[in-house]
Chains A and B, each alone.
Chain A
Amino acid sequence: MKILVPVKRVLDYNVKPRVKADGTGVDLANVKMSINPFDEIAVEEAVRLKEQGIASEVVVVSIGPAKAQEVLRSALAMGADRAILVQSDSEVEPLGVAKILQVIADDETPDLILLGKQAIDDDSNQVGQMLAALLGRPQGTFASKLVVEGDHVLVTREVDGGLETLRLALPAIVTTDLRLNAPRYASLPNIMKAKSKPLAIKTPEDYGVDVAPRLRVSKVAEPAVRGVGIRVADVDGLVAKLKELGVA
């Protein structure tokens, strides 16, 4: 089976985001950027399926600036076979991303599309579900376990009350949650090998997709700052405070 894995280049999760003084967004100049952590889990899962002989080819795709080639090379170093960059210097909203991926999926006809449940920059949590809708395929979101069985896949989902397992007919779209796996570190030989793996560069126009934004972000602000707290000296002090709050 062929697996398609969309990945996004985002601000590294260890970096504290700083809102620009003019309120137009978050400052991304000269800060570390990385593959979206949930997408990295998707790449790992696809590569594991290949190692198990279930998948035959893993294709990674990213929609973003020229520098998104870096995250595609990381995915290739983890074991993906080839990459596609759909280059766009302006931000593409989830619906636009899903529409580009729809055309790519129509071309590539993957049996499984694996992607992160959300990107940690815009926190939208939409692309997988939107892509499933546009392709008219089943979706398994927030997956913590995935078992491929013939013409279907069993997906265990992390839901509010616990876990639930769904059976999806292939081709299907699965979005990954944290506990699906722990992504590997790419070895140096694999990083070197990844440099020579194929990476095609396209544009949204190549796919005939209109990615004009539907949403206008008029302001980005820091969240309200909490007032300075107090310290209590001991447990008795804490008990007194909890009584004041009416919870004790």
Chain B
Amino acid sequence: MAQVLVWAEHDGAVLKDATRSAVIAAAQLGTVHVLVAGAGVDGVAQVASAIAGVDKVLVADDAAYAHGLAENVAPLIVGLMADYDAFLAPATTTGKNIAPRVAALLDVAQISEILSVEGPRTFTRPIYAGNAIATVESSDAKLVITVRGTAFAKAGDGGPASIETVSATGDTGQSSFIGAETAASERPELTSARVVVSGGRALKDAATFEQVLFPLADRLQAAVGASRAAVDAGFAPNDCQVGQTGKIVAPEVYLAVGISGAIQHLAGMKDSKTIVAINKDEDAPIFQIADIGLVADLFEAVPALTASL
């Protein structure tokens, strides 16, 4: 049975759900160990050890891993990979930053953003912004894979797995963390929310975007997203962007408000379970993939909708 090492995505305090999806994918390949690398990550390790299907948690606790710097983390993973057949990371910005560095050091090809496990070495993955799905088989000795979280279920909790400390590989000194600007929000996180309300350029400006969309999102306990056009126009911050070049989301219900449905946007949300579109242009491409469509002026329809919920 293959031994699989999974990268735990966390912010130092909270284990991200994307890890749970990677565990589901990893369990289809073999025995799952989870690597928690960071500084002061005992709490994260405890949470990881409670995930169903996890056999063991490896903890690398060192200041060098505090911000997930690829230059410091990759040598740690490469060292551990002597004992594993596959390395899986969630396809988050952290996973995408680290996994190819690991793959190159192991001299193996990486398989990016898998959607399914078809066999011990065979996977499906999206190409051309999800306009085609490729079935890919690896001939390498070891597998390095990133996992698209929205394509897999999230592992729940189970029995506690054992926790083992691994020794740190140190700071390469090549890069250092200067600072971060994180967007604080009381709403659910975009990539894990059950309902997403997204707005497009039709919302006119940032103030209108907030006035029209936020009350509806709050009523539905939804996360707020935006099309690239709306983000580029400054209506919403970058981290709200849903699309090929933004976040990939697949909530139970995706409400697209005043969004035309450019290929770029569809690539990020078309795997949502139910897509609802409100747009006054009945020929907007978004209606071709919407399960429920309402042709209406959003400035009348959205406040009316918010009021009747």
Contact = CB atoms under 8 A, between A and B. Distances in A.
Nearest to A131: B104
Contact of A94 (B110, B138, B274): B110
Interface string A193-221: 00000000000000000000111111111
Given A219-B134, A226-B270, A239-B305, A121 B128 contact: yes
Interface in B142-160: none
Given A227-B291, A234-B294, A247-B195, A216 B100 contact: no
B139 A214 contact: yes
B178 interface: yes
Given A160-B94, A169-B173, A245-B274, A26 B128 contact: yes
**Which of A130, A158, A160, A163 has the largest number of chain B CB atoms within 10 A?**
A160
Interface size class for chain B? Answer: 35 or more
Contact of A165 (B71, B126, B178): B178
Nearest to A102: B104
Interface string A94-120: 110010000000000000000000001
A129 B70 contact: yes
Contact of A232 (B67, B263, B292): B292
Interface in B257-289: 263, 270, 274-276, 278, 287, 289
B70 A165 contact: no
Interface residues of A, number: 76
Contacts of A183: none
Interface in A130-157: 130-134, 137-142, 144, 154, 157
Main secondary structure of the interface of A (DSSP, over half): mixed
B212 to A, nearest CB: 14
B13 interface: no
Interface stretch (B34-42, B45-53, B180-188): B180-188
B239 to A, nearest CB: 5
A142 B127 contact: no
B294 A215 contact: no
B22 to A, nearest CB: 14
Question: Nearest 5 CB-CB pairs, A to B?
Answer: A129-B100, A130-B104, A138-B174, A214-B109, A133-B104
Interface of A: 11, 16-17, 19, 26, 93-95, 98, 120-134, 137-142, 144, 154, 157-169, 177-179, 213-223, 226-227, 229-232, 234-239, 241-242, 245, 247-248
7 contacts: A123-B113, A139-B71, A158-B93, A158-B239, A166-B176, A178-B228, A247-B195
Interface of B: 11, 67, 69-71, 74, 92-94, 96-105, 107-113, 122, 126-140, 173-183, 191, 194-195, 219-220, 228, 237-239, 244-245, 247, 252-253, 263, 270, 274-276, 278, 287, 289-296, 301, 304-305, 308-309
Given A223-B133, A248-B220, 6 more contacts: A16-B263, A130-B103, A138-B175, A237-B294, A247-B195, A248-B309
